[in-house]
Amino acid sequence: MAIDRLIITRRGFGIGLVGGAASLALPREAAALTVDQARDLVNKAVAEVNKVINSGKAEAAMLTEFERIFKTYADVPTIARSALGTAARSASAGQLTAFTKAFQVYMARKYGRRFREFAGGKIEVTDARPVKTFFEVVSTAKLPGQAPFDLRWHVSDKSGKRLFFNLVIEGVNMLATERTEIGAMLDKRKGNIDALIADLKSI
């Protein structure tokens, strides 16, 4: 499907809005979290991503691994609710649960396929710093034949666990991109969340 064709370039990772994503359904505090803990979380996630992208496994096996990594290190419920936008307020508990599960698989497939294009390269964590109510961990992707580019991970423990809730590539926010794309998909289905969930499972 066209919605799944996201191309990584040095200028971006995805399509959609640039900037402003930090205000979308984000954790409000990170008082108990330290910069070293945030950096350690991303170091672990990056190590696993590097291992997968250079494993030589078939796509299906790699996507399964990317889903596990996303589930382990990302605040999936926060990201999913942000992507659903205002529709999340009217969704039933059952719909939110079903959407979050479908969204998790969708994200793993969508971004996992793009991360596969990093094969032969490596992501390295280079810096970490506090930003308002969360921590930003900076990493650099070094790919064969391409100039290095930034991946910035936003980390918080508001959910009760240390997790990343946003990923910014060369200024393009994952939260903003997904809210735009999921919103467009929902509009196309005339606000039918159940139809959206069913379609996400097929992407």
Give domain status of residue 12, yes or no. Answer: no
What's residue 8's pLDDT? 39
Give domain status of residue 14, yes or no. Answer: no
Give domain status of residue 178, yes or no. Answer: yes
What's residue 7's pLDDT? 37
Compute the distance between CA of residue 7 and CA of residue 12 in angstroms, rounded to an integer: 8
The pLDDT mean for the chain works out to 85
What's residue 112's pLDDT? 86
pLDDT in tens, 122-170: 999 999 999 989 999 999 999 888 899 999 999 999 999 999 999 998 7
Number of domains the chain contains? 1
Q: What is the CATH number of the domain that holds 62?
A: 3.10.450.710
Residue 88 has pLDDT above 70, yes or no: yes
Parallel, antiparallel, or unpaired: how do β-strands 122-131 and 134-142 relate?
antiparallel
- Which residues, listed in sequence order, are joined to residue 122 by a DSSP beta bridge? 142
Give the Cβ contact number of residue 80 at 10 Å: 24
Give domain status of residue 92, yes or no. Answer: yes
The H or E element that residue 137 is part of is strand 134-142
Which pTM value belongs to this model? 0.81
Q: Are 70 and 167 in contact (CB under 8 A)?
A: no
User: Which of 113, 122, 116 is CA-nearest to residue 50?
Assistant: 122
Q: Are 84 and 77 in contact (CB under 8 A)?
A: no
Give domain status of residue 79, yes or no. Answer: yes
Give domain status of residue 181, yes or no. Answer: yes
Residue 3 has pLDDT above 50, yes or no: no
Under the banding of pLDDT at 50, 70 and 90, the label for residue 81 is very high
Domain that holds residue 113: 21-202
Looking up tokens 């497939």, which residue turns up? 109
Give domain status of residue 1, yes or no. Answer: no
Give domain status of residue 15, yes or no. Answer: no
User: Which of 50, 11, 23, 37 is CA-nearest to residue 176?
Assistant: 23
